Structure 1
Amino acid sequence: MSTSPLMRSISGVRGIFGESLTLPIVSAHITAFYETICEDLSKKELKIIVGRDSRISGPQVLDRTLQILVNLGAIITEIGIVPTPTVQLEVINSSSDCGIVITSSHNPKEWNGLKFVDSQGLFLGVDLCKKLYTKADHFLQNKEEQEEEEEKNEELDEEKKKQITIDKEAGKRHINSILELPYIDIESIKKKGYCVCIDTINGAGGRVLPELLRSLGVAKVVELNTQMTGVFAHSPEPIPENLNGICETVVSKSCDFGIAVDPDADRCVLIGPDGKPLGEEYTLAIAVYFMLEKVGRRGPVCKNLSSSRAIDDIAKQYSNCPVYSTRIGEMHVASKMIQENAVIGGEGNGGVMLPDLHIGRDSLVATALVIQCLASENCTLNELKKKLPQYQIEKLKVHVTGIDFEAIKNYYIQKLNKESGVTFDFADGIKIDHPDWWCHLRKSNTEPVIRVIGESSNTKETSLQMCQRFMKDIKEFNQKN
């Protein structure tokens, strides 16, 4: 019996490999994805990009994925261990019909999963996800079909392998596309003689991120956990409590700053020269500041509901730069960015989305924008942070089963609706807004938890106490109802 459920959302499919995520479940979802895209594009044969992160279970999931796709008649390009955004960019640049990323992003090492990419390099929207998951459930419920499919999944013969092209240069193309952005000035970065520490947690960014740093003109790159073995050196999520190693190394090696990413390298967190993390919210804040202040772009900025108010405050300083907030999930932000023709967007978890390249969270893009911003501002990372709006955010999570969010919503409306200045947003869980603070409560798309995220302009302790108070409320309410 699985100790954790299969998680399915617009962020794809995730589970503990061998338990909630088995090879038959992989087969069902790959088949369902292929059929869904064939129907959506009115095609019988698809050109598809496949990449993965470095998880130890990755080769097994990849083999099954390729077997299924070959039997379905796909024309496949397998690009190896690469960041998730590299797959997205390859789909666009190769004019492919779709892509599959074998990853469980920031989830623990025993997890794996599948992210599904459409022909625009975007994750599937709500409607296509529903269609895909309905088809997958049908395959899993029909044992006869499932057994027939499993019989087909024998080792690929040489003839079938001809349907698969192996391409190991996608990472280099990703780097080159960033270097070609008109506002990336390699000479100005070279002049600074930066020393940068990079921690890729032995994940998918282990090759491309150090190479990107050197290509940008960074004088010295201190590599930490860049082996791509899938043996994660610490807990995968790039949050302060998991970053002690890089924080210590930044100080001991006298680095100008540090960069840490998650296993599939779509999120990027920054560490100051004093060895203290800036907080993942500041990655997007710096990128937005750079595009509006240094590049001079004007236009909408998009973020999710859990992202810092610092983004709003930065954008307010410039004309014609409205900020739009969406439900959590890259696809929701991406859809809004397309709708509003945004100049930049992202999520406060360290995910930067730059339409000039592609509309997906990309740690390589984030890295380039941050370094160029530092070079342009001629200051340290900590000095740059001080120039930006100062907020204190806390992100907690609690395991609560069987929660009724409708009941929780009514509970907070009754409890807080008379408090001066309080407003509510129910687009994604419950967001309670006050002029001095906000708190967002929602079910996670990627883990079996309730996320409690709160921010204030006061001390970090104030934000923590606020989140803890809401967490206590949820637990007590759940016990009584």
Structure 2
Amino acid sequence: MEIAKSIFREYDIRGIYPKEINENLMKQISKAISIKCINEGVSEICVGRDGRISGESLLNSLSSSLSEYGIKVLNIGLVTTPLLYFAAKKSNHKSGVMITGSHNPKNYNGIKLVINDSPVSGSEIYELINKDKSYTKEPAEIIYKDIKKEYIQEVKNNVNINKSIKIVTDCGNGAAGCIVPELFKSIGCEVIELFSEVNGNFPNHHPDPSKIENLSNLIAKVKESGSDLGLAFDGDGDRVGLVTDKGEVVLPDKIMMILSKDILATKKGKIIYDVKCSNALESIILKNGGEPIISPTGHFHIKNGINKHNPLLAGEMSGHIFFNDKWYGFDDGHYSGARIIEIILKENKKISEIESELPTIYSTPELNINVTDESKFKIVENFINEFSLEGEKITIDGLRINFENGWALLRASNTTPKLVLRFEGDSVSDLEKIKHDFLNELSRICPDIDINLV
């Protein structure tokens, strides 16, 4: 069987089902994972899957193959990625495999992997696939377990929700539907549900809250119902989107500002954020006595940063938020929602009032240019080498250039065949000039690219 190397990415494994990722490949991946586990002294691993149509079959293949290679399996079934991480944290060997296509189109699937409490890249697994390993004489045990009640109880014990609040949740027919309604009702919220039924065809909208167009139903329902806020989740529940009581979208770097102010009021420490976040986040962290650390984008890099720096909080512009102050340090969309509600009740203010106290930011959302997986990194490399505008260059992940009146970013997506851009200025005119000059430079250096921002 020919294996597509391109699906073994820096963060994880992700490809089209069944052309690039299928049950036969899952057996090969299971062998590689078992080799990694044995090298790490790990004999037991948790496994789960999101709501994609191919997920159940792929999980069965993964589970049985790991067992045949001698790894004891704790199968927690249909879950969000945070539930899988929670199960892994609670297990003896702190290891887990999540079958998920994350925010990719519905015909994709893939794997997120943590072994011995550390993330494992897809490229590392690829290097192990061709190594030899035989099945054990007797398959290891497979145990089936429902982790949701334990998780809900721990969240209830962790957050202080002392009165009812009305919220709208939009699970986008993703795996979050298996936990979000029950969780928020359990902590005392009045919950109006949108699209909680898990359906891998995503019939209502794609479960990606980083795209404003996917929030239109949520915005309308918050306004119509007079709710206190709206929460949206991606396909595997590890990212959150926030809509205020006025129906306005709060971008994730502003969510990070709200969370940073709250956490730093009682504890001082480090906060990690990715290269796509606003300069205003760094300023707020410093103003409130924290230590800001900028990171490459991607849960793989953020998790390694958490292991290295032990921050109180970490987050990305995509909506991944990692609480490490009184939670477990993994990205968890539904727990993030609970913490936002805790702040609203603690401050005794509407979320729109809390957001209005933050600096005014003149920025774009994340913008994309469609390219190919084969060309995207080379494009960024050429751009970095030939870029001629004056400014402070940060090249930990593509090129972020800080100007006196704002900044611009170009990086390659590690999960899709796209270039990722974002722009920010001190004023609307600064923003427009920075965007104009930066795109002109991109057009000069890379004339063959169709600069059609989406």
Over residues 321-354 of structure 1, what are the superposed CA-to-partner deviations in whole Å (9 max), with x where a residue is unaligned?
Answer: 1100111111222222332231111212222111
Asked if 1:454 is matched to 2:423, the reply is yes
Asked if 1:212 is matched to 2:183, the reply is yes
Counterparts of residues 129-144 of structure 1 (less than 5 Å): 129-136=122-129, 138=130
Over residues 394-448 of structure 1, what are the superposed CA-to-partner deviations in whole Å (9 max), with x where a residue is unaligned?
Answer: 2111122423433211221xx213xxxx100111111111232111211111111
Q: In structure 2, do the counterparts of structure 1 residues 17 and 212 end up closer, same or farther at CA, with 3 Å as the change threshold? A: same
- Residue number in structure 2 paired with 1:47: 44
- Residue number in structure 1 paired with 2:389: 416
Which residue identity is paired with 1:195? Answer: K
Q: In structure 2, do the counterparts of structure 1 residues 28 and 476 end up closer, same or farther at CA, with 3 Å as the change threshold? A: farther
> Which of the numbers 244, 248, 252 marks the counterpart of 1:280?
252
CA contact under 8 A between 2:251 and 2:317: conserved in structure 1? no
Q: Distance in 2 between matches of 1:198 and 1:343?
A: 27
Q: Distance in 1 between matches of 2:231 and 2:46?
A: 28
Asked if 1:255 is matched to 2:232, the reply is no
- Residue number in structure 2 paired with 1:156: none
CA contact under 8 A between 1:429 and 1:442: conserved in structure 2? yes
Identity %: 25
- Residue number in structure 2 paired with 1:123: 119
CA contact under 8 A between 2:49 and 2:80: conserved in structure 1? yes
Asked if 1:225 is matched to 2:218, the reply is no
Q: Distance in 1 between matches of 2:303 and 2:80?
A: 18
Q: Distance in 2 between matches of 1:95 and 1:457?
A: 50
- Residue number in structure 2 paired with 1:58: 55
- Residue number in structure 2 paired with 1:174: 151
- CA shift for structure 1 position 6: 4.0
Q: Distance in 1 between matches of 2:124 and 2:99?
A: 20
Matched position secondary structure for 1:432? strand
Q: Which moved more, 1:279-288 or 1:202-211?
A: 279-288
Matched position secondary structure for 2:38? helix
Which residue identity is paired with 1:104? Answer: G
CA contact under 8 A between 2:406 and 2:434: conserved in structure 1? no
> Which of the numbers 336, 358, 383 marks the counterpart of 2:328?
358
Instruction: In structure 1, list runs of 5 or more residues that go unmatched.
Output: 140-144, 153-158
Q: Distance in 1 between matches of 2:65 and 2:439?
A: 44
TM-score (norm: length of structure 1): 0.85
Counterparts of residues 10-409 of structure 1 (less than 5 Å): 10-41=10-41, 46-120=43-117, 122-124=118-120, 129-136=122-129, 138=130, 163-168=141-146, 170-181=147-158, 184-187=159-162, 190=163, 193-218=164-189, 220-232=190-202, 233-238=204-209, 239-293=211-265, 296-319=266-289, 321-355=290-324, 356-391=326-361, 392-401=363-372, 402=375, 403-409=378-384
CA RMSD of aligned residues (A): 2.6
Matched position secondary structure for 2:60? helix
Q: Distance in 2 between matches of 1:344 and 1:62?
A: 32
4+ residue runs over 6 A deviation: none
TM-score (norm: length of structure 2): 0.89
Q: In structure 2, do the counterparts of structure 1 residues 462 and 29 end up closer, same or farther at CA, with 3 Å as the change threshold? A: farther
Instruction: In structure 2, list runs of 5 or more residues that go unmatched.
Output: 450-454
Q: In structure 2, do the counterparts of structure 1 residues 202 and 428 end up closer, same or farther at CA, with 3 Å as the change threshold? A: same
CA contact under 8 A between 2:102 and 2:234: conserved in structure 1? yes
Matched position secondary structure for 1:359? coil
Q: Distance in 2 between matches of 1:30 and 1:470?
A: 44
Counterparts of residues 465-480 of structure 1 (less than 5 Å): 466-467=434-435, 470-471=438-439, 473-479=441-447
- CA shift for structure 1 position 217: 1.6
Q: Distance in 1 between matches of 2:245 and 2:5?
A: 41
Q: In structure 2, do the counterparts of structure 1 residues 50 and 468 end up closer, same or farther at CA, with 3 Å as the change threshold? A: farther
- Residue number in structure 2 paired with 1:142: none
CA contact under 8 A between 2:393 and 2:400: conserved in structure 1? yes
- CA shift for structure 1 position 390: 2.5
Q: Distance in 2 between matches of 1:199 and 1:314?
A: 30
Q: Distance in 2 between matches of 1:363 and 1:274?
A: 21
- CA shift for structure 1 position 61: 1.0
